Amino acid sequence: MRQPPTTPPRHLQHSASSHRGGLLPGRAASRLRALARSDALPRERALADATVLTAWLTAAQRDRYAPGLRAGDDLDAFVQGLAAERRVVIEEGAEVVEDEIVSAADAEHAARQVPLRILEGLLLVLAAAGVLALVWLGMGLGGEGWAGATRPLLAWAAVTVAALLLAALVGTVATRRRDRALLDWACARPGQLGRGIPVRRPLQRLSPAPTILAVLGPTLLIGAALLAVVIGAAILLVTLLSRENPGLVEVALGCFGGGVAAFIVAMALSSLRTRRLELLVRRAAAVEWLGKALDPAQVTPAGRDGESPAP
């Protein structure tokens, strides 16, 4: 019996001529599209997701995925083709693709970055030990013992800060490598970026160390700024009242200046963190899987626990 001609899934049916919506948007337009609400119209949501994904992918990943979009080397055509894929899936739902869930589970399992995660955990333990050491040294010192304990306190403080910074760096690298591996997997499958990536743990998920540093950094800077301003005000007040040691006025002004500088840096870091979180949220939404809800029994990688891939 003659088999009926097969057609590709809806989100892979591209017209022969790609829609050309103009030149690639500039920075202002890209930011507006990237910050489009998730409850926007399907066309707007799809265009926002495609814009964010195109900027997120490397040149090699775009070149690998472009043939399925019939985009060639045209970046604007890539955005429009990817937006068309995404819009069809948003409006009509994702069709079942054979082996998609098991293949994604295998890719996620291979991209876990276990050595880097273990190193991040060890560095966090070292940072926690440094904090405990500082607390223990502070509780064991009297009013006259601070001068002799300056070196141990500074040493443990340096160890704590260095361990936390290294842990944040390792965690960031691990997250980026995991995301890059999963994007590589998606770019190797035509239409997968339009459907999203079915994973148990979403992409752009922050690891503990960067989160701790992002929260503690501005907070500690603000605390240091307030402390410096209070100390400077106290020194200036005592100096003006006693009219002795006029050289301390410079110290008070230095405390004021350091406090203001620390406060400005804290505000700048908070602003950068807010913009970074916006980008992370948009990236996570851009690769959100639009298929059926994941069944835990389906997301076991092939070859684990004696299970085999689903047919």
Give pLDDT, residue 229.
Answer: 87
d(CA 101, CA 301): 9
Question: Angle CA(302)–CA(187)–CA(211) in degrees, nearest 5?
Answer: 80
Alpha carbon distance 218, 273 (integer Å): 10
DSSP state of 246: T
pLDDT at 176: 94
DSSP summary character for residue 306? T
Neighbours of 118 (CB within 10 A): 12
CA angle, 204 as apex, 90 and 14 as ends, to 5°? 30
Give a three-class secondary structure readout of 175-210. HHHHHHHHHHHHHCCCCHHHHCCCCCCCCCCCCHHH
Distance from the Cα of residue 68 to its chain's centroid: 28
The amino acid occupying position 275 is R
Distance CA 40, CA 7 (A): 30
CA end-to-end span of the chain: 25
With tokens 């001068």, the residue in question is: 147
Predicted local distance difference test score (pLDDT) of residue 140: 66
Low-confidence ranges of the chain (pLDDT < 70): 1-40, 96, 140-149, 244-247, 293-311
Residue with tokens 């040149």: 59
User: What pLDDT sits at residue 20?
Assistant: 38
